[in-house]
A and B are shown apart, each in its own frame.
Chain A
Amino acid sequence: MSRATAGERSRAFLLVAPLLLFLAVFFLWPLGAMVTAAVSDEAVSTVMPRTAEAMADWDGAGLPPQPVQRALVEDLRAADDQQALGEAVRRLNSAVSGFRTLLTRTAGAARDAADPGAVSLPAVDPRWEQPRFWLALKAAVPRYTDRNLLAAVDLRRDADGAIVNADPEAAANRVIMARTFLVAATVTLACAAIGLPYAMLAAAATGWVRAALLMAVLLPLWTSLLVRTAAWFILLQNEGLINGALQAIGLIEEPLPLIFNRLGVVIAMTHVLLPFMVLPIYSVLLSVPRNLMPAAASMGAGPLRAFWHVLLPLSLPGLLSGSLLVFMVAIGYYITPALVGGAGDQMISSVIAFYATGTANWGMAGALGLILLTVTTLLYLVYGRLSRSPQLPGA
């Protein structure tokens, strides 16, 4: 390679360097952080190195031998990083409720004791006589864990390490995730059903009509969530405009339940997400030569058949990318379902938000996010295969 091309290459690299940096900082790094958070489990081993070491000699049967208990006391005495200890406590409490108060009390006793060897843990708190606390501690020692990932799909390891279903009384992630995909799919279908004809209308229109049509579909993106929610409320509630109008013209006697149920969620989400469907289809349609439909007609295709054989296949790339966009954005929704949905309409992102902001359990948040990301990536691959016919305009 000549010196000149080497120079050009490095200059080209410099030009894209900001982009690469941006991708690394705002895309790859958070992704890595999420994966790490989902599987790493260092909170306990960091604060309790002695306990971790001593635990290796305990087979998990009954109560751990004296050296383990002593190591725990020493670790708690030595723990001076309050935030690190807090993290360990949160981690343990997330495994067994009550660990927080137990450890707080034990740490206090350990610090106050003159001789760490003389501290009797069951005397400090009788809960130390329950093996489940010790087992939870032992399970928290390894630096990596599949616990969060399993819990994200309602699985857990039993005492023998085999993967089993979590207690159905306290496991809803699978249901909520399935529901999330169902709602997203319904919204995608609704958007496609409305968005395709709408985009065709907008592409066929000219001048101010086209501008008005596009504006109308973009409007919900520019209004704040609260304003939109209030609007839906006014429209959809039992004494709302729609029910009022239907009752006034005598179509129904009792108000239809339009809000605080799945229907309300689908209506509201379709409203917001419609532009993500309309715009890709619209731009694909704009690139379709105007004489194709007349050409089809001249060859004996009536309007319906011309649509079916020509316009629809040609708008398919737009429909596909629109569907993908709507679906992926819809998966992440949770405020709208919370505001206009009913009890059975909570979506997985609200569970993620609960762990991330509510309890600072980033392991669970990361694991749920990772599952969501995996499914979405799979969908994207399917989309990639579907849209690989390279001759489509706009593709």
Chain B
Amino acid sequence: MRSAKRLALIGCLSCLLGAFGAQDGQARDLTVVSWGGNYQDAQRKIYFEPFSKLSGKPVLDESWDGGIGVIAAKVKAGVPNWDVVQVEAEELALGCADGFYEKLDWSKLGGKESFLPAAVSDCGVGAIVWSTALSYDAGKLTTAPTSWADFWNVEKFPGKRGLRRGPKYALEFALMADGVPADKVYETLGTPAGVDRAFKKLDALKPHIVWWESGAQPLQLLASGEVVMTSAYNGRISGINKSEGKNFKVVWPGSVYAVDSWVVLKDSPNRQAGMDFIAFASKAENQAKLPDYIAYGLPNKQAASAVPAALQGDLPTTPKNLEGTLALDADFWVDNIEELNARFNAWLAR
């Protein structure tokens, strides 16, 4: 009698668990994950909501802060609870090699030739081109810095400098400041001597650096005068100029640009809807609306050419702004990030 009751109880419990589990797996709406903030607000207006209207189904959106570990954890869970994710170049390279993403059918996206070469991969299609660049407050700095060498020149430009904490970008900028031309940066970094050279250059500036972590910080640092110049994401700079009437300037030569891509997670229950969404977000007429909101470059060539001239000046993809810039080498960082991060931490701790 008693054991029968107990069985019934256990049965009920497993029913409940089953019910929750099933609900999670089947009825979930398409979930798109991007980088939050203004950028995601803009994406919601021009991609998520119109796509939801078109497909007649809700689109959920979440934000994340990157990291292949997050993707790996989601995919290894069996059925991921995200479907479409906007990933950075390294996450694209790593995850694609490891089979974390579904392969794309490029014919549905308008063919590889419609996009910038850097925006094309087996697993992902470029969503934006963004840039990390030297920026300064033109309202405060009378002489404009023009290069990373100026960034390192504390006599001519006294004051603190902001850099993103971590070896990525810092090493590239250090080499360029040391006179390595943009197209030779990764070649130099590929050798132990090159890495030593970059760290040695960083040594010289170390006491003057304020390290930042999140994308909003360098703007705060510039606005408060805590630093005279800083590396910053270009989209944020034109954003704050527009929203708060600042006169922050971006120095394009020597900036490092990278492509963020849309991917569909492996075994996503909304795989087809996810593919449809990517195709929708990659269409020239949809993508072309983005620079109205935020100054990111467009990987769809046709979309890029449709951007009004007034907005072109702020985009990293505008030919004039591309001169002397450097494309982030995702492969280099995928290979070396652990080793260089350990070394960077040791260097910081010294």
Binding site for B on A (CB under 8 A): 7, 14, 81-83, 85-87, 89-90, 93-94, 97-101, 104, 168-173, 175-176, 179, 230, 233, 237-240, 259-260, 335, 338-339, 342-344, 346, 351, 354-362, 365
Contact = CB atoms under 8 A, between A and B. Distances in A.
Contact of B348 (A7, A238, A344): A344
Nearest to A175: B349
B6 A176 contact: no
Nearest to A87: B98
B346 A170 contact: yes
Nearest to A354: B341
A100 B343 contact: no
B69 A358 contact: yes
A231 to B, nearest CB: 12
The secondary-structure label for the interface of chain B is helix
A260 B211 CA distance: 8
Interface of B: 2, 6, 9, 65-73, 75-76, 94, 97-100, 165, 206, 209-211, 213-214, 217, 220, 224-226, 266, 331, 334-339, 341-343, 345-349
B338 A361 contact: yes
Contacts of A351: 345
A241 B144 CA distance: 30
B6 A343 contact: no
B69 A357 contact: yes
A169 B220 CA distance: 33
B171 to A, nearest CB: 14
B224 A358 contact: no
B213 A338 contact: yes
A346 B331 contact: no
Given A86-B97, A359-B337, A101 B349 contact: no
A86 B98 CA distance: 4
Contact of B217 (A172, A179, A339): A339
Contact of B214 (A83, A93, A339, A342): A339
Nearest to A154: B346
A223 B44 CA distance: 27
B264 to A, nearest CB: 15
A339 B217 CA distance: 8
Contacts of B209: 343
Nearest to B3: A10
A3 to B, nearest CB: 10
A237 B67 CA distance: 31
Contacts of B335: 93, 97-101
A335 B76 CA distance: 27
